[in-house]
Amino acid sequence: MRVFADYTGPVADRCDVVVVGSGPCGAVAAYELAAAGRDVVLLEEGPPFTPADFELDGARSMARTMREGGLRFTSGYVMPTMQAIALGGGSLVNSAICGRCPDFRLAEWAEAAALERTARSDLDPHYDAIAAFLGIAPTPDEVQGRRNLLFRDGCQALGWDNEPCARNVVGCRGSGECFTGCRARAKQSMDISYVPAAIRAGARVYTSVQVQRVLAAGRRAGGVEGRVAAPFTGAPGPSFRIEAKAVVLAAGVLATPLLLRRSGDLANRSKQVGENLQFHPGTSVMGVFPEPVEPVFGATQGYQSLHFLREGFKLETLWAPPGVLAVRLPGSGLELEQKLLDMRRAAVWDCIASCKRSRGRVRERGRSLQPAVHWRFHPDDARTLGRAVWALAQIFFAAGAERILPGVAGLPDELGSLEAARVLERQPPRAADLVVASTHAFGTTRMHGDPARGVVDEDLKAHDLDNLYVVDTGVFPGSPAVNPMFTGMALARRSALALAARI
Amino acid sequence: MSSIPLPLRQLSAREARFFAAAADAAFPHGTTRDGPPLPSGTEAGVVAHLDGWLELLPRRNRTLIRLLIVFFEYATWVLPAPGRGGRRRFTALAPEQRVAVFEAWSGSRLRLRRLVFASLRMLLTSSYFASPAVLRATGLAPLAFATPVVEADLLYPPVGQARDAIRWRREDLSRPPLHAPLDPHGPLHPDYTEEGASTGERARAGESAGAGARG
Ligand SMILES: Cc1cc2nc3c(=O)[nH]c(=O)nc-3n(C[C@H](O)[C@H](O)[C@H](O)COP(=O)(O)OP(=O)(O)OC[C@H]3O[C@@H](n4cnc5c(N)ncnc54)[C@H](O)[C@@H]3O)c2cc1C
Ligand code: SF4
């Protein structure tokens, strides 16, 4: 295990498999390969964070754990999108929701991407193994807190499906701090779960190293090279080169395509590298209740409703640092301050849409490895998200909210009754009216049975090379309908086992 | 007394004046319907927090934020505030004119204009909520609890430090307690109590507001 302070000069190493990126997908792949007896090197650009490094202040935390200080935006439809830079990748700061991709969606993937072995029954053994490893289980009522249980009550009153979120968490205290790092050490983020297990199994982990190029000749990848990168500033340090019999890229949806393009447009005979970018855009609604909710207590995202999954959206509870949540509150001056005081009686719930028609692409920004992300929000998809906002409004009033703050431009700041909220049904918000953000992204190195139409095959091996694999969520041929991490890990596990059997 | 905290590391005096004016437009002095007044934006240390936060950002983002300041400071030349002298720069406007400028931006029919304003609001709001006093007054301050020592804590030193900074040994290992929900009315995280050091002060000093107090 190496950290920034360990690098005093150029680094050279040799192994069976080099894995780039220690997010959920890369960490699972590294562990499975090491556990299968392969000599593994895991490379991560970000540093490991200890609880002493966590910042409870949302702005400072994002500046340190997220790419571009947490200020990354898409162009086209301007939308913030967040990717982590840390040992453990997104798992350090995410809400730990682990959802299995539903059968109907995997059937759609199979049809659209000519897949033959990616049905739910194919993935379930991998989901099961990961669930057992990470202790994935439904969030217990005792740590839900009132803001999550009100969501349940509202759904029940409406007769809509609802369930506690299954999460990779053991011993949650309900601090609602998943976004800034779990100081209860309950969230089984990769840095405290799969990465230590990979190390125990013999993997060598280098943190604070930025891979800049995949070495390849003909149909074979030979390793990777790059530079040490100082934590937070990214200041370049000594160079490194890792030679390997196989290369596994798990740098994330926005980074892996840039690495491939920079390495001589590798694995891109299909011209699909960096294309087909899809997001789950999300928006939130705040509801104010007559009694205190004390939202400071409760699992970050403890409850969900899959009732409208086939219609293209999912509903969830949400918490984040108050400064991040309050950004969406309307008004200024004393009126705004009153709304801040109301937050003690408030819950915030969000919706994410599958967005089958919205597409984008990622390209390099100048000569850097920073992405220029372009994405267009299709009006049909925006309408779906608008319907989800109306659904949230109904849950709030069914749960007894006295008013909601829909956060939709052109509507009153507050809607005081279900009747008043019907405006959301009559006049569904348009893309331009919504305040949207996204942390779920897919598609830029998509898996496809046809080498002319996709980058990797069903084992996530690049069609164009014999020993290059891509295992991050960029391989999804489309939206997984639910939160993506668990499916990414399941696919990565399957891929790692296939690779381990080959070398 | 000046509302600009000194010394500043990133913000120029002019930029700091802009943020002070903007912070007090968003969060003025006064009494809200529900009791005790909240601190104003400058009292909450918004300017100092922004100064410390800017230091953490990549250079490109810092530049974009500087452009945002210039843009807002002079936008009144094109989109004047109501009342006399509405075309003066933002910091030269009367306090109620500044609030009116904010309302015009946030209520604009143009999404792009709303987004630009949302960026400024994001900076102000997240810095306002860095204040322990604000978090206490709104009932949203983090709670106190012990952080167990897990296997990973024997592997990694705090960011930027050498391996010999790892404080924990195998005998320190503990497990997160099961079935131990926090009490929403329980004690606050020590950094957020009235006696605790304020995050704003530490941000000014450039230190990490480490949340890892182990019990
Ligand atoms: C705030 C937030 C909340 C979320 N909540 C949930 C949730 O509850 N459930 C869920 O399913 N999903 C959630 N997500 C999404 C989820 O975290 C991601 O889908 C998941 O992390 C993707 O995993 P990955 O391994 O593909 O990529 P990442 O997690 O992005 O990991 C990629 C890693 O590669 C590293 N890397 C990139 N480039 C290089 C390079 N050149 N050299 C070396 N290393 C490099 C990165 O630093 C990063 O650590 C959330 C995301 C965020 C940001
Ligand atoms: S809610 Fe709090 S205790 Fe539970 S997993 Fe998230 S950060 Fe950890």
Size of interface A-B (CB pairs under 8 A): 250
- Looking from the CA of residue A93, the nearest atom of ligand 1 is 1
A62-71: pLDDT as tens digits: 999 999 999 9
A351-374: pLDDT as tens digits: 999 999 999 999 999 888 999 999
Give the helix/strand (H/E) hosting A136. Answer: strand A136-138
User: CA-to-CA distance for B16 and B30, rounded, in angstroms?
Assistant: 23
- Please tell me the predicted confidence (pLDDT) of residue A493: 98
- Please tell me the predicted confidence (pLDDT) of residue A91: 98
Residue contact A50–B58, C-beta within 8 A: no
Distance between the two ends of chain B, CA-based, in angstroms?
A: 40
User: CA-to-CA distance for B73 and B89, rounded, in angstroms?
Assistant: 5
Per cent of chain A over pLDDT 70 is 100
CA within 13 Å, CB half, B182? 30
- Please tell me the predicted confidence (pLDDT) of residue B35: 65
Complex ipTM, two decimals? Answer: 0.92
Q: Which of B53, B60, B211 has its CB closest to that of A51?
A: B211
Question: Cis omega (within 30 of 0) on the bond before B82?
Answer: no
Residue contact B212–A142, C-beta within 8 A: no
A246-295: pLDDT as tens digits: 999 999 999 999 999 999 999 999 999 999 999 999 999 999 999 999 99
Under the banding of pLDDT at 50, 70 and 90, the label for residue A338 is confident
- Please tell me the predicted confidence (pLDDT) of residue B32: 65
What's the order of all strands across the beta sheet hosting A73-76?
A79-80, A73-76, A371-376, A359-364
User: CA-to-CA distance for A249 and A43, rounded, in angstroms?
Assistant: 10
Q: Which of B140, B157, B163 has its CB closest to that of A343?
A: B140
Provide, as residue numbers in chain A, all residues whose Cβ is less than 8 Å from the Cβ of B31. Answer: 334
* Residues linked to residue B185 through DSSP beta bridges, in sequence order: none
Residue contact B209–A184, C-beta within 8 A: no
Instruction: Inform me whether the C-beta atom of residue B103 falls under 8 Å from chain A C-beta atoms.
Output: yes
For A326-426, where are the E strands, in sequence order?
346-353, 359-364, 371-376, 403-405
Low-confidence ranges of chain B (pLDDT < 70): 1-3, 31-35, 197-215
Q: Locate tokens 């830079």: which residue? A: A85
Give the helix/strand (H/E) hosting A489. Answer: helix A485-502
Q: How far is CA A146 from CA A63, A104, A141, A304, A344, in A?
A: 30, 33, 10, 14, 11
Provide, as residue numbers in chain A, all residues whose Cβ is less than 8 Å from the Cβ of B161. Answer: 3, 5
Q: Flag whether pLDDT at A475 surpasses 90.
A: yes
* Token code pair at residue B93: 């406007």
Residue contact A57–B130, C-beta within 8 A: yes
- Please tell me the predicted confidence (pLDDT) of residue B33: 64
Give the helix/strand (H/E) hosting B112. Answer: helix B111-128
- Please tell me the predicted confidence (pLDDT) of residue A386: 96
Q: Flag whether pLDDT at A219 surpasses 80.
A: yes
Long-range residue pairs from A52-55, CB within 8 A, at least 24 positions apart, any chain: A52/B158, A52/B208, A52/B210, A52/B211, A52/B212, A53/A181, A53/B158, A53/B159, A53/B208, A53/B210, A53/B212, A54/A180, A54/A181, A54/A183, A54/B210, A54/B211, A54/B212, A55/A180, A55/B208, A55/B209, A55/B210, A55/B211
